[in-house]
Structure 1
């Protein structure tokens, strides 16, 4: 594990933070006529990048080939759900779905934050020799 690991975790935290904002906006606009829910496409992009570039392994030697990074405007993607609304007012937000998505997002965010905490705790333990 190195700074690349922290970079990936940082990007994941940013994506989950963006998703939290999108869910909050959807919930806030649940009664706004013609509002179309927004969502963050993070996992889909990561899976596509993994399929395309086969993101595996680590660069442990300067002669190794760089693994493509997940940079650019496509990471993560905030998209509008333009699916047909079953509501008369044209709004397609389902409050139950948003609440479930909010809980899943919180769990994922917490998991990544715990991973970062564990990483830094192991670094501190290595530096101090396990003593506090």
Structure 2
């Protein structure tokens, strides 16, 4: 995020942290995109609860992001040369091929989907709150309040 400096009653902006702000923007956007994809997968699962042979869908983002970060090579000639624009933390929708206790082969459990939906809504709301706070901070820096 922005590093706000207050000198003599005026606010300043430390532009050395701009790449950090870009990273925050990217992660917030990817987090919101993953919440949307997860919501669609959960909705699909719930709507297909009575479809014979249907296999539940799930979204992975956090695991992919962690793997991307773990494999990130940080060798650069200068601290300001971190490459931007790489697709870290891809959002993927997967099919759960596990077996089912049901005779029709459908492996959707409405209780699991309801819990996943509630958790996803909490995550979405938290990300929206973070984004709103970030935008409020930027507005305060720009307006000098």
> Structure 1 residue 128: deviation in Å?
1.4
Equivalent residues in 2 for 1:31-70 (5 A)?
31-53=50-72, 63-64=78-79, 65-66=81-82
- 2:140 is equivalent to residue 125 of structure 1: yes
Structure 2: 5+ residue runs without aligned partners? 2-20
Residue number in structure 2 paired with 1:93: 108
| C-alpha deviation, 1:63, in angstroms | 2.5
- Any stretches of 5+ residues in structure 1 without a counterpart? none
Root-mean-square deviation (CA, aligned residues, Å) is 2.3
- Report the structure number with the largest CA radius of gyration: 2
Runs of 4+ off more than 3 Å:
67-70
| Structure with the larger RCO, 1 or 2 (CA within 8 Å, 6+ apart) | 1
Give the equivalent residue in structure 1 for 2:123. Answer: 108
Question: Which residue pairs with 1:16 in the alignment?
Answer: 35
Cα-to-partner distance string for 1:105-126 (whole Å, 9 max, x where unaligned) = 0011111111010000001111
**How many residue pairs are counted as aligned between the two chains?**
124
Alpha-carbon contact 1:53-1:68 (below 8 Å) kept: no
The corresponding residue for 2:87 is: 71
**Larger % of strand: which?**
2
